[in-house]
Amino acid sequence: MLAAATAATAAFGVGLALRPGSAPQPESAVAQVRAELASNYYRPLSKRVLARPTVPGIIAALHDRYTNYLTPSEYRVAHRAFVGGYGGIGVTVLPAIHGLLVRRTMSGPARVAGIRPGDTIMAVDGASTAALSFDEAMGRILGRPGSRVTLRVLRNGRPLEFRLVRHAFRLPIVSTRLVGKVGVIHLRSFSHRSAHTMQSAVRR
């Protein structure tokens, strides 16, 4: 699956993320990446590039900083920015030594369950967050609204477990304020709704 994603730095990137195949014996990740690049890349690629034996090797041979391979969890994080919404639990987190440090909670499943700022999320559905990249760990918390996720949390040296049901959230795209007689518009992210939301804010 070829996906366009917008990063926080407002740089546009192209990612390849895999969906589970429905065939009894699905293609390997390498074969899927080769097929996607051969049919959808912006320029023809040589057989030498496509013959590389690993996904990182193929991507490196492109010499293209805007093309990257995303795991399904990393893709969910990138897709969240593009669509302007996500299924999650309502927390803002930062990377920490033992996992993900909860910086704040918003109205949603995490706050209702009792997760607090200062807690550390050590595992998501049994997978240690300390052993994963930040985007990979974040992507495992995200998921379809209504689906369940289990978190192991550390609070004051004491491990706790929370079973949560993901909720649908919308990302704030635009914020506005008046400074005297001047209207100030802050565009927070680029998504498929950014242009329409920006136009509405200018009219308002």
* pLDDT of the chain, 204 residues: tens digit per residue: 333 332 332 222 333 443 333 334 456 889 999 999 999 999 999 999 999 999 999 999 999 988 889 888 888 777 776 666 778 899 989 999 899 999 999 899 999 999 999 999 999 999 999 999 998 898 899 888 899 999 999 999 999 999 999 998 877 778 899 999 999 999 877 777 788 889 999 998
Quote the tokens at residue 165: 């049901």
Between CA 99 and CA 139 the distance in angstroms is 13
Q: What is the pLDDT of residue 26?
A: 52
| Contact criterion met (CB below 8 Å) for 75 and 17 | yes
The confidence score (pLDDT) of residue 23 equals 39
Length of the chain: 204
Maximum CA extent, the chain? 65
Torsion angle defined by CA atoms of residues 106, 86, 70 and 9, in that order, rounded to the nearest 10 degrees: -60
Residues contacting 130, CB < 8 A, separation 6+: 97, 98, 99, 122
Spatial contact of 151 and 88, defined as CB atoms under 8 Å apart: no
